[in-house]
Chains A and B, each alone.
Chain A
């Protein structure tokens, strides 16, 4: 088995590292290895460590009486053979154990062999008790075993006293010759239960990840058009996929000949797990240069994940395996540390939800530590499950806040709509117009008729506009002209509206020019008999630029005063139709007043 994959497993189990270090110290280079004492009522499942091993093949080596003191002592606990032991061929392992007490009459013992790319025969006191695959001298003859096997030991052989377990193994199908992990010995029931628990926990956690991913996809499709949800879903799905493949390999009976293929496939979710978490945070908190940073993170992760595979396929020198192996091992820690840094930055910038997420990351670390202490196989996943729940809560809260905001905008615009209709079709406007009609009737009935017609035209257009988000520029101009006609006749002045540029089919929010024209009329034409409003329309791709100029003799302070309801209405309307994609500037301009409106993505 590749050290690369070992590394991943070790990393995932948070390396079980202190244990292995301890064992190294304990087993050192002892001369006479005393048998390991096992009390099954205290520890129903024991990982057997401290094997003596030798290359070669002889059935005599299975004999419990054989003197193996000349054999080398295998270092480490997690690996059968560690540094310097790489090699392919047949070799034997021997291990002496001692039961001080007889098993209770209802129990029987069993051996469990975790996934290892090899073929094995297991001897118990010289007798063959298990065969997993076909041990052979050559790669052609060797048939790899299957993973997740539990081998019962005949009960009559498990009397109290000393026993020797010998394993005859060939490993031609491994890549580097190094294989992992140890045999476990325990009562049959305990072994089954412990395997079931670990498998169930993995699948349970995978379920949480899948459900969370589905929830976020549903949210993405249903409500928020925010693709950080997609990122987060992808992250959750990667975790789920990784867990499922991993536990499938460990607890279900998989032909170990496929081991490398499956492990290579599992690199894909592993890659996304490592890279998507910091990328998600970058986008969630809108960090500067997030796209570049994300690409960097992904490229770096890809490089570290891919290199061992390239080494195994012979494209890169084998010597590189060791450092990349180590990098891979620490990479999950790197990605968590990067995430924490991003969150700390987000907290300083007071980003919404950043505090919740950092709490989530702390819970993740705590969860990982607790499960490491509890020696849970997939402890990291427990931590991740906590983390994604916290992030989900945070995202939901943000979504609720956005919903509220949206509803408020809706309400506000509904109110403005009403306010506007009230301002134009309200009695005040009508009554003043009627008053002027009465005046004209007495003075000049034909003009009264013209005023009635102009008023009718304006009212018709106002009614047609209500409830629309955008109208065509041509319609809006027509409304402005109708209004200016009404006001011209009411005030017995000459107001005109000129348009240059534009095709008329440009879309703008309704009544914004009308409101600006009204603002222009309110002040600035005192004692004058004519007034000119000119609209310049410019289109540059999707960008629409409108300049409304009027030749009012307005003084700046008066203009500041009328920056009231009218302009607020215009701004709200623009924001509603083109969120974040518009600008509005007003100010005095050569001999008049100029309003500039820029719309970035005008729909035509």
Chain B
């Protein structure tokens, strides 16, 4: 796992490095530390990472702009900050976890567990917006506008309700962990807003499809079929 720490206070940064090393042990592929997000970006350009541990001063306007930049990227972001009053907003922007300072090793460990678990993480907070990079500019899409997501290699296609399409740098796996519970991985390549599903169609040859409210048909994997049909019958 490739980890980047962004922390301007040396003492705190040293401790984070030490703890990450202890938690991940052998799994650490790279572990670097930078003093600011600007410095971090230069590093990321040449070295892809999986997760960023970010200390941001979220009390001002500029802190949130930097946060948007981080969450629009392909890697997951874990905030490590003393601005606990901003935790909910950070989650809404789509950070994977918010570790309040000061913290114990166990709390950081849980954050890394969320990173490795498949499917949605257990925490109640989830992203309320998706921040995407659109022609170099950051664009904030309210989650309500998202229809479904389709995997496209390392990226994800975000299909909006108005029919338009935009790309997110994160993989479907990464997005699944931060999206609200009503978004469900229905297929290797699809995440769908389940509130839009009106029917499950069964075709011959083990082929299943979901019918959405607007008539669109999306593939459904066999492994998810049983669980979903039950859930739909209940509703």
Contacts and interface: CB of A to CB of B under 8 A. Distances in A.
- Is B one of A's binding partners? yes
Interface of A: 427-428, 431-432, 434-440, 442-443, 489-493, 526-527
Given A432-B9, A526-B8, A427 B14 contact: no
A436 B82 contact: no
A431 B101 contact: yes
Centre residue among A428, A492, A527 by max chain B CB count within 10 A? A428
Nearest to A492: B10
Given A428-B82, A431-B100, A435-B101, 4 more contacts: A427-B84, A438-B102, A490-B9, A490-B12
B102 A434 contact: yes
Given A435-B101, A526-B36, A527-B35, A427 B82 contact: yes
A526 B9 contact: no
Contact of A439 (B11, B83, B84): B11
B10 A435 contact: no
Among A439, A493, A526, max chain B CB count under 10 A is at A439
A426 to B, nearest CB: 9
Given A432-B82, A435-B82, A526-B36, A492 B11 contact: yes
Contacts of A439: 11-12, 14-15
Contacts of A489: 11
A436 B15 CA distance: 9
Contacts of A443: 11, 14-15
Contacts of A427: 82, 84-85
Contacts of A526: 8, 35-36
Interface of B: 8-12, 14-15, 18, 35-36, 57, 59, 82-85, 100-103
B102 A435 contact: yes
A187 B35 CA distance: 106
Nearest to B103: A435
B12 A431 contact: no
Q: Which of A435, A493, A527 has the most CB of B within 10 A?
A: A435
B10 A491 contact: yes
Contacts of B9: 432, 436, 490-491
B84 A431 contact: yes
A428 B10 contact: no
Nearest to B59: A428
A564 to B, nearest CB: 8
B22 to A, nearest CB: 11
A442 B8 contact: no
B15 A490 contact: no
Of residues B9, B59, B103, which shows the largest number of chain A Cβ atoms within 10 Å of its Cβ?
A: B9
Contacts of A436: 9, 11-12
A442 B36 contact: no
B82 A491 contact: no
A468 to B, nearest CB: 26
6 contacts: A435-B103, A436-B9, A439-B15, A490-B9, A491-B8, A492-B11
A493 B35 CA distance: 14
Contacts of A527: 35
Contacts of B10: 491-493
B80 to A, nearest CB: 9
Contact of B11 (A428, A431, A491): A491
A274 B96 CA distance: 82
Nearest to A561: B62
Task: Pick from B11, B85, B100, B103 the residue with the most CB of A within 10 Å.
Answer: B11
A536 to B, nearest CB: 29
Contacts of A432: 9, 12, 82, 101
A103 to B, nearest CB: 96
A431 B82 CA distance: 6
Nearest to B102: A435
A490 B35 contact: no
Q: Which 7 A-B pairs have the closest CB atoms?
A: A431-B82, A435-B102, A439-B15, A435-B101, A492-B10, A438-B102, A432-B82
Among A437, A491, A527, the one with the most B-chain Cβ atoms within 10 Å of its Cβ is A491
A167 to B, nearest CB: 95
A435 B84 CA distance: 13
A155 to B, nearest CB: 99
Nearest to B82: A431
A265 B12 CA distance: 86
Contacts of B82: 427-428, 431-432, 435
A490 B11 CA distance: 6
Contacts of B100: 431
A363 to B, nearest CB: 55
Nearest to B104: A438
B84 to A, nearest CB: 7
Nearest to A490: B9
Contact of B15 (A434, A442, A491, A493): A442
A465 B65 CA distance: 35
A169 to B, nearest CB: 94
Contacts of B85: 427
B64 to A, nearest CB: 15
B65 to A, nearest CB: 12
A527 B14 CA distance: 14
Contact of B102 (A428, A431, A491, A493): A431
Contacts of B102: 431, 434-435, 437-438
Nearest to A565: B60
Contacts of B8: 491, 526
A23 to B, nearest CB: 85
Contacts of B57: 428
Nearest to B16: A439
A436 B12 CA distance: 6
Contacts of A434: 101-102
A490 B12 CA distance: 8
A432 B36 CA distance: 16
Contacts of B36: 526
Nearest to A526: B35
B83 A428 contact: yes
Contacts of B59: 428
A489 B10 CA distance: 9
Contacts of B15: 438-439, 442-443
